[in-house]
Structure formats: structure tokens, C-alpha cells
Amino acid sequence: MKDLYTFDATPQEAKRTYDKARRAYKNFFDELGIPYLVAIASSGAIGGIYSHEYHFPTMNGEDTIVSCEKCSYSVNEEFTDTPGLRDVETSRADWTRYESWFGISKDRCHLVEALLPQTKRSRKIHSSQQKTPEINPYMMKKLYPELDLGIEDPLSTFAEYWTKERSTTTRQATEPPSIPHLTRVYDFRISKAFLDTGSSGNKGKPLMQKVSDIIGRNISTNPIPLNLARFQDGDQCPGCENNSIKLQRSVELGHTFYLGDRYSKAMNATFTTPPIPRATDETDTQQIQAQSAPTEANKAWFQMGCHGIGISRMIAAAADSLANNSNNNKKQGLIWPRVMAPFEAAILATEENKSATEEVWDLLARPAGGWNPLDAVLDDRDDKGLGWKLKDADLIGFPIVVVLGSQFSQQGLCEVSIPRLGIRDMVEMGGLRDYIGMRLDRI
């Protein structure tokens, strides 16, 4: 892990430093040449004011990024401050049933029921296939931070706990009785009037009501309709509200946090701010020095930021993204970006052409005119043939491979292979710099 910690005197300076770090990260990932997403993220346990994540899109990822191709909206699914909204009136029209999701607090005193719409058929919204919504656990945790999302059956746990709690044998006589709380929240696709009429189509007595009967307490309903469902492909973009969002699985490669004074206050990390001299007479040195003495009045908290890149994850992402696939889709080896490769170019030759390899190396690895030299390596192993060396070069993942083979012996042509671009051409030695230089910015 590569870490960076920043300390500034004011929030304004800290914000400028944070923006500089973000630009540096963007430039860094741009130079790597791998696909990546920048998303607004939840600060999570680390906390702070805001943060951004840098993700590599892959089906094997553990995160989900919600983004819009038409605007700059891009957030981690865990970020719940700006949940996507669908058209409330039209979306309510086809929902004929609702289903309940239950959550319980860690102290077992609070049971929450979330009502989501349920349908027997899929339907079109914003030209995408709409499925029955799933609960957004991040939103529920934001609404009720005390929830314990690790309980498989919160309803039974709550009912069992309070059945025992009503018995005086389960607690000391001197202990005050606990008070259970029942709360119902509902998704905005379900109208409050629709719920009150009981016309939901759900048969039988609601499970929450049965619990209410057991413990003898009423259910309080949050009067504000909320968006409790997870994002789905095709939902309306919360950013531009004119286009649809796309969900992508991804792996987090980096994270930037603007922490503010969260940790500086906890650690009592302060600095003394320079006072503003009030003396008007320049000769009054004693007065100015007295005003410059540090006091509690001119101490301030550091404004902090922390930033990190997962080096091992980044290497794995590059390998996964740029793995070499031949025309028959059979994976052959790696293709490293130039900035990550052990060498930018490898020079290989048959036994009869080994004497010319140093001349080729000089062309590529030594500066000349406007030519920026490449970091090149000669594979001059005496105990390996050209075929073996070619296989090794493919497995290692050199961005550029120059081969002096039979065509070089006959016509003076070098075989230049750039696997990332999928090209392999015969080039005269004198034209190597021009040929490779025209393609460097693409690898």
C-alpha cells in the first residue's frame, strides 16, 4: 500500500491539497493505461467529510459502481446520500403487492420493517427491463446505524427475545425494563393510502402486526416515503435525470479522503497560528513580540487528508486487463503497460544475427536528436534458442519485442511486435525509431 497523509492550516487549503492529490491520482492511472472509474464514495469507518475511490471494472470485483455515461455521475453503491429516483407516479401504478424486509438493532430493542413493492411481472421503465426491487442495506444502515445486518432472521430473533424479556426471571428485579420499538418505513413506490386501505393483495395478518400483538406495542410508521431499493441497470440517473445509469462490478485500487479535523481533535494535534500584529509604531518591538507569543487563543486543529493506492491490486488489475489474447482467444501471456514493465522493449535474435543486436539496442536505448531512449534489454542467453526466448518474452509481457530472424538475414528487416496493439510488422533497422515512436503513446 502506498500512503500519503496531508496536513493543512485551513479547510480551504486542505480542499486545494485534496484536489491536487485527486489530479495526481488521475494522471497516474491515465499513464498506466488501464480502464478505471472514479466514484464518490462513503468514508465508512475512516470517516471524514468526503472521499473518492478509484476502481478497476471487472466481473470479479466486490464493489458495485453506479455511473451515467452521459454525465459525470459516478458513485459507489455504498454511497447513499443521493439515491436514484424513479418516476413516482408511474412506477406506483403497476405495483400490486408489497413485501417486507426486517432488520433488528444490536441491543434487540428495535425492529424495523421496510416495505418494498413486489410484482409478478417485469415491466419497462426508461426503456429498460424493470425487476422487483431489492432492499438497499446501505440505505437502511444509514437510516438506522444501530441495525445488526448480520442476523439472518431478525423477526424471529426479536419475537423470541421479547417473549423472554417479558418474564421477570430473565432480568434482575432492580433492573429497569427495556422498551421495545417497532418502526415501519416504506418505499416511495407504495403510497401511504395504498397501505392504509389494506388493498395490497398480501393475504393473512402481516408478520409485523403479529409481533406487535406479542409484545403489546403499536407500530410507528415513518411518514416520509423513502427510496429503499438498490440501484438497477436502467434506473433514472440522479445526476442529469435524463439518462439511465449503469452498474459495474469493480475492484478498488485507490482511495482519497478529506478528513478535516476528525483525527486532529482526537489526538489533540494543534498548531499555533501567527497572530496579526496590532502595533502601528514599528519601533514598538516589545509590543509586537508580546503579541507573537503562542497562546491558547491562536491554536488551531490540523486539517487532514489521507490517500492510498493498493500496489498489489493495481498490478493484478493491469494483468487482468491487458492479458494477451491471440486470434484464437487462447490466453498466451501478460502485456504490461510501459510504466510497469520490467523493460519497455526486448531485443531477440537468432544465433547468426546476434552480432547485430547491440546496434539495434543502441538505436532504441541511446538518446539521439529528439528521440527519448527506451529502457531496452538484450536476451543474449547462449543456452536458449529463439523459440524459447520468444515464449519467455510473451510470458514476461514486454510491451515491444524486436526480433532479428530470417528476414533480417535476407533483407535487413526487423520483426517488431507490439502485443497490446495486436500488430506485428517487418521494419527496416533505420526506421525502427519512427515506427515505434509513432505508437508509444498508445501502449
Q: For the segment 168-206, what is each residue's pLDDT rounded down to a tens digit?
A: 555 555 555 567 888 888 887 776 555 555 444 454 456
Q: Reduce the secondary structure of the chain to three states and give it as a string.
A: CEEEEEEECCHHHHHHHHHHHHHHHHHHHHHHCCCCEEEEECCCCCCCCEEEEEEEECCCCCEEEEEECCCCCEEECCCCCCCCCCCHHHHHHCCCEEEEEEEEECCCCEEEEEEEEECCCCEEECCEEECCCCECHHHHHHHCCCECCCCCCHHHHHHHHHHHHCCHHHCCCCCCCCCCEEEEEEECCCCHHHHHCCCCCCCCCCHHHHHHHHHCCCCEECCCCECCECCCCCCECCCCCCCEEEEEEEEEEEEEEEEECHHHHHCCCEEECCCCCCCCCCCCHHHHHHHHCCCHHHEEECEEEEEEECHHHHHHHHHHHCCEECCCCCEEECCCCCCCCCCCEEEEECHHHHHHHHHHHHHHHCCECCECCCCEEECCCCCCCHHHHHHHHHHHCCCEEEEECHHHHHHCEEEEEEHHHCEEEEEEHHHHHHHHHCCHHHC
Dump pLDDT digits (tens) for 67-93. Answer: 988 888 899 888 865 444 444 443 443
Dump pLDDT digits (tens) for 299-333.
Answer: 889 999 999 999 988 888 888 777 754 444 445 67
Among 111-115, 405-409, 410-414, 434-438, the least confident range = 111-115
> CA distances (Å), 359 to each of 337, 354, 396, 412, in order?
25, 10, 23, 13
- The answer to whether 128 and 87 are in contact (CB under 8 A) is no
Residue 283, pLDDT score: 47
Closest CA to 48 of 292, 274, 256, 297: 256
- What is this structure's pTM? 0.69
* Residue 16's pLDDT band (cuts 50, 70, 90): very high
CA 204 to chain centre: 43
Question: Among candidates 50, 33, 65, 46, which has minimal Cα distance to 252?
Answer: 65
Question: Which amino acid is located at 137 in the chain?
Answer: P
- Determine what percent of the chain is predicted with pLDDT higher than 90: 35
Confidence at residue 199, expressed as pLDDT on a 0 to 100 scale: 45
CA distances for 335 relative to 67, 404, 419, angstroms: 28, 21, 7
Mean pLDDT rounded to a whole number for the chain? 79
- The whole-number pLDDT of residue 84 equals 41
Quick one: average pLDDT of 155-179? 69
**Measured distance CA(26)–CA(6) in Å, rounded:** 18
For residues 210-232, average pLDDT: 70
* Higher per-residue pLDDT: 242 or 341: 341
Grid cell for residue 87: 418516476
pLDDT(44) > 50: yes
Give me the mean pLDDT over the 427-443 stretch: 90
Report pLDDT for 424.
Answer: 93
- In this prediction, residues 403-413 reach a mean pLDDT of 92
